[in-house]
Amino acid sequence: MDADAVRPLQPRARVRHRSQRHEPDLDGNFTFSRFNPAIGINFNPSPTFTAYAAYSEGMRAPSPVELTCSDAAAPCKLPNIFIADPPLKKVVSKTVETGARGKIGPDTQWAIAAYRTDLDDDIQFISSGVGAVNAGYFQNVGKTRRQGVELWGGSRFGALSLNLRYSHTEATFRSTFVAASPNNSTADANGAITINPGNRIPGIPADAAKLRAEYDFGEDVSIGASVVYASRQFARGDENNHDSHGRLPAYTVVDLDARYRVTKDLEIFARIANLFDRRYQNLGVLGSNVFTGPERSFGPSLGIEPVVEQFRGVGAPRGIWVGLRYAFGAQKGTD
């Protein structure tokens, strides 16, 4: 299968996929097009302050894997599935953004932005709860919204520099629809749940922040530290936000890094990710655990029923890297 490359301003996309076994039911030819207007205005009353506002519309064509995995009656295990499926509609976005940025003295900069993006015919991966925990399908779910604020500030105090980024995101469904999620504790007798406007989209933390500090010991040596935070999020399969397992917990991770310039062209660097070896999870999916027997053996063979749980993606443990960078001739200044 292949998808024609489309430039962001080109309002036309064509997606084609072909079966190597020459089965017509598996072939597809899709064309998506739309005129996408945009307008913006900047206000610069001084060299140290800029305010702006913008409105834009966009289009996203369904990808080949989405188009070949969109049948609720035949959930697939991503990403290697290719079956006959119903077509999907293009996703249309409408975005309003306003913000400002500026400087305070020679060493301090800041920026703030507020935005709202409404999507029509948004595409979501819906966990089916049938078979493997990652089984599901893509479908158009009507309207969704992502709105929030983003803040950034940076300053330098002699050899010490500090940067802080923070974002608050409200990602919600704006249409009512029914989805299969038999592992959700509030599912009906048919294993379906109802998603209503205002329910949060799973997998998107409401708050995220990163604090970065770096200290320069002259021009050749520096040490830095980053603190990354992400708030709670809902698991896939809990699109109605009412499953009894609740949200995945928030987490904070600390990273360290350092560099030493040996010569003009040679640099040694080191990095420690997840310094305190924090155990955390950054993704969750509702599923049915069949390994409920003694010592996690296969329970159904012993007459033990599966247990519905949150299957969580575990974050990376502590990792340490040490390496060299060397600039050759015209490539100086690059890694």
**Blockwise average pLDDT, block size 10, the chain, 335 residues:** 42 70 65 89 96 95 80 66 70 97 96 97 78 72 96 97 98 94 92 95 96 95 98 95 96 97 94 97 90 87 88 94 87 50
- What is the SS3 assignment for 316-332? CCCEEEEEEEECCHHHC
Q: What is the pLDDT of residue 7?
A: 43
On the CB side of 285, CA atoms within 13 Å amount to: 16
Q: What is the pLDDT of residue 244?
A: 95
Q: What is the pLDDT of residue 23?
A: 61
- DSSP type of residue 262: -
**Rounded distance, CA 127 to CA 191, Å?**
11
Omega prior to 79 cis, within 30 of 0: yes
Q: Are 177 and 165 in contact (CB under 8 A)?
A: no
Q: What is the pLDDT of residue 19?
A: 65
Q: What is the pLDDT of residue 84?
A: 55
- The residue whose two tokens read 């520096």 is 222
- How far are the Cα atoms of 2, 103, 153, 276, 323 from residue 256, in angstroms, in the given order? 41, 28, 20, 10, 14
Give the start-to-end residue ranges of the domains of the chain: 2-249+281-314
Residue 330's φ and ψ, nearest 5 degrees, are -70, -15
**Rounded distance, CA 128 to CA 42, Å?**
47
**Rounded distance, CA 273 to CA 110, Å?**
27
